[in-house]
Amino acid sequence: MFVTDTDVLQSLAEALHKDVGDLQPFWINYDSSGNIVGGVVPQQHAAAYNEIFERLLRRGFTPAQIVTWDRGGEFELAIAVYLCLTHGGAADPPQYDKALLDVLGQYRDKLDTLIVSSAGVWLVPGDTPGNIQFGPLETMFDLFGQTVDPCDPRIGQVVRW
Protein backbone atom coordinates (compact mmCIF):
# COMPACT_ATOMS: atom_id res chain seq x y z
CA MET A 1 0.00 0.00 0.00
CA PHE A 2 1.13 3.52 -0.70
CA VAL A 3 -0.31 5.07 2.50
CA THR A 4 -1.32 3.82 5.95
CA ASP A 5 -4.70 3.51 7.66
CA THR A 6 -3.65 6.39 9.90
CA ASP A 7 -3.11 8.60 6.84
CA VAL A 8 -6.58 7.70 5.55
CA LEU A 9 -8.12 8.36 8.98
CA GLN A 10 -6.44 11.78 9.15
CA SER A 11 -7.68 12.72 5.66
CA LEU A 12 -11.17 11.47 6.52
CA ALA A 13 -11.21 13.63 9.65
CA GLU A 14 -10.13 16.64 7.61
CA ALA A 15 -12.88 15.97 5.05
CA LEU A 16 -15.43 15.84 7.89
CA HIS A 17 -13.92 18.97 9.52
CA LYS A 18 -13.30 17.07 12.76
CA ASP A 19 -10.38 16.00 14.89
CA VAL A 20 -9.41 12.33 14.66
CA GLY A 21 -10.36 11.85 18.32
CA ASP A 22 -13.87 13.16 17.68
CA LEU A 23 -14.72 10.56 15.03
CA GLN A 24 -17.27 7.87 15.82
CA PRO A 25 -15.75 4.48 16.80
CA PHE A 26 -17.19 2.70 13.75
CA TRP A 27 -14.67 4.51 11.54
CA ILE A 28 -11.75 2.65 13.12
CA ASN A 29 -11.41 0.16 15.99
CA TYR A 30 -8.35 -0.40 18.17
CA ASP A 31 -7.45 -3.31 20.42
CA SER A 32 -6.07 -2.86 23.94
CA SER A 33 -2.54 -2.48 22.55
CA GLY A 34 -3.57 0.36 20.25
CA ASN A 35 -3.40 -1.70 17.06
CA ILE A 36 -6.03 -1.16 14.37
CA VAL A 37 -8.35 -4.18 14.29
CA GLY A 38 -11.26 -3.11 12.11
CA GLY A 39 -13.74 -0.50 11.12
CA VAL A 40 -14.76 1.34 7.98
CA VAL A 41 -11.36 2.94 7.36
CA PRO A 42 -9.22 -0.24 7.11
CA GLN A 43 -11.87 -2.00 5.03
CA GLN A 44 -12.29 0.81 2.52
CA HIS A 45 -8.56 1.54 2.46
CA ALA A 46 -7.90 -2.04 1.36
CA ALA A 47 -10.71 -1.76 -1.19
CA ALA A 48 -9.16 1.43 -2.61
CA TYR A 49 -5.73 -0.18 -2.99
CA ASN A 50 -7.25 -3.26 -4.63
CA GLU A 51 -9.25 -1.13 -7.05
CA ILE A 52 -6.12 0.77 -8.11
CA PHE A 53 -4.20 -2.46 -8.53
CA GLU A 54 -6.95 -4.19 -10.52
CA ARG A 55 -7.56 -1.28 -12.89
CA LEU A 56 -3.88 -0.78 -13.64
CA LEU A 57 -3.34 -4.53 -14.08
CA ARG A 58 -6.22 -4.56 -16.54
CA ARG A 59 -4.41 -1.86 -18.52
CA GLY A 60 -1.33 -4.09 -18.72
CA PHE A 61 0.92 -2.67 -16.01
CA THR A 62 2.92 -5.18 -13.99
CA PRO A 63 2.77 -5.32 -10.18
CA ALA A 64 6.37 -4.05 -10.07
CA GLN A 65 5.35 -1.00 -12.10
CA ILE A 66 2.25 -0.34 -10.03
CA VAL A 67 4.02 -0.31 -6.65
CA THR A 68 6.52 2.28 -7.91
CA TRP A 69 3.85 4.63 -9.31
CA ASP A 70 4.62 8.25 -8.38
CA ARG A 71 1.02 9.27 -7.73
CA GLY A 72 -0.07 6.04 -6.06
CA GLY A 73 -0.37 7.59 -2.60
CA GLU A 74 -2.42 10.51 -3.86
CA PHE A 75 -4.89 8.26 -5.67
CA GLU A 76 -5.05 5.69 -2.88
CA LEU A 77 -5.80 8.37 -0.29
CA ALA A 78 -8.48 10.09 -2.40
CA ILE A 79 -10.22 6.85 -3.35
CA ALA A 80 -10.04 5.49 0.21
CA VAL A 81 -11.61 8.66 1.66
CA TYR A 82 -14.27 8.60 -1.07
CA LEU A 83 -15.13 4.97 -0.26
CA CYS A 84 -15.16 5.72 3.49
CA LEU A 85 -17.57 8.61 3.00
CA THR A 86 -19.88 6.75 0.65
CA HIS A 87 -19.88 3.42 2.51
CA GLY A 88 -19.49 4.74 6.05
CA GLY A 89 -22.00 7.52 5.50
CA ALA A 90 -24.83 5.07 6.02
CA ALA A 91 -23.83 4.67 9.67
CA ASP A 92 -23.27 8.38 10.34
CA PRO A 93 -25.58 10.79 8.53
CA PRO A 94 -23.43 12.61 5.97
CA GLN A 95 -22.49 16.16 6.83
CA TYR A 96 -20.21 16.79 3.88
CA ASP A 97 -20.90 18.44 0.59
CA LYS A 98 -21.51 16.78 -2.73
CA ALA A 99 -18.71 18.78 -4.39
CA LEU A 100 -16.13 16.97 -2.22
CA LEU A 101 -17.53 13.58 -3.23
CA ASP A 102 -17.48 14.60 -6.89
CA VAL A 103 -13.81 15.62 -6.71
CA LEU A 104 -12.76 12.47 -4.84
CA GLY A 105 -14.86 10.26 -7.13
CA GLN A 106 -13.06 11.59 -10.20
CA TYR A 107 -9.89 9.86 -9.05
CA ARG A 108 -11.55 6.49 -9.72
CA ASP A 109 -12.49 7.51 -13.25
CA LYS A 110 -8.98 8.76 -14.02
CA LEU A 111 -7.45 5.33 -13.35
CA ASP A 112 -8.56 4.11 -16.76
CA THR A 113 -6.82 6.84 -18.76
CA LEU A 114 -4.04 8.51 -16.78
CA ILE A 115 -0.34 8.30 -17.55
CA VAL A 116 1.55 6.19 -15.02
CA SER A 117 5.07 7.29 -14.13
CA SER A 118 7.82 6.16 -11.80
CA ALA A 119 10.53 8.60 -10.70
CA GLY A 120 9.18 11.02 -13.28
CA VAL A 121 9.54 8.57 -16.17
CA TRP A 122 6.47 7.49 -18.12
CA LEU A 123 5.84 3.75 -17.83
CA VAL A 124 4.74 1.68 -20.79
CA PRO A 125 2.51 -1.23 -19.74
CA GLY A 126 4.79 -4.22 -19.25
CA ASP A 127 2.30 -6.92 -20.11
CA THR A 128 -0.76 -7.13 -22.26
CA PRO A 129 -2.92 -9.75 -20.58
CA GLY A 130 -5.33 -11.60 -22.81
CA ASN A 131 -3.40 -11.25 -26.06
CA ILE A 132 -2.29 -14.36 -27.90
CA GLN A 133 1.46 -14.63 -28.07
CA PHE A 134 3.42 -16.36 -30.81
CA GLY A 135 6.85 -17.85 -31.32
CA PRO A 136 8.57 -21.19 -31.86
CA LEU A 137 7.40 -24.06 -29.70
CA GLU A 138 10.54 -25.35 -28.05
CA THR A 139 10.17 -28.36 -25.78
CA MET A 140 13.69 -29.75 -25.88
CA PHE A 141 14.38 -28.96 -22.22
CA ASP A 142 10.96 -29.84 -20.82
CA LEU A 143 10.87 -32.28 -17.94
CA PHE A 144 9.39 -35.12 -19.98
CA GLY A 145 10.88 -34.14 -23.30
CA GLN A 146 14.48 -35.11 -22.70
CA THR A 147 16.53 -36.24 -25.64
CA VAL A 148 16.90 -39.99 -25.97
CA ASP A 149 20.31 -41.62 -26.26
CA PRO A 150 20.03 -44.21 -29.07
CA CYS A 151 22.52 -46.43 -27.21
CA ASP A 152 20.55 -46.39 -23.93
CA PRO A 153 20.07 -50.04 -22.79
CA ARG A 154 16.69 -49.16 -21.25
CA ILE A 155 15.09 -48.61 -24.68
CA GLY A 156 12.30 -51.14 -25.14
CA GLN A 157 12.26 -52.09 -21.43
CA VAL A 158 9.07 -52.01 -19.34
CA VAL A 159 8.67 -48.72 -17.52
CA ARG A 160 8.47 -49.14 -13.77
CA TRP A 161 6.80 -46.31 -11.84
Q: What is the pLDDT of residues 45-102, one digit of tens each?
A: 999 999 999 999 999 899 989 999 999 999 999 999 999 988 876 555 556 667 888 8
Which is more confidently placed, 147 or 19?
A: 19
Query: What is the per-residue pLDDT for 1?
Result: 85
> Is 137 inside any structural domain?
no
Q: Which of 84, 74, 73, 79 has the alpha carbon at shortest distance from 104?
A: 79
> Is 27 inside any structural domain?
yes
Domain region containing 118: 5-122
> Is 148 inside any structural domain?
no
Report how many domains make up the chain.
1
> Is 161 inside any structural domain?
no
Q: How far apart are CA 122 and CA 65, in angstroms?
A: 10
> Is 116 inside any structural domain?
yes
pTM of the model: 0.72
> Is 127 inside any structural domain?
no
Query: What is the per-residue pLDDT for 137?
Result: 62
* Residue 121 identity: V
> Is 29 inside any structural domain?
yes
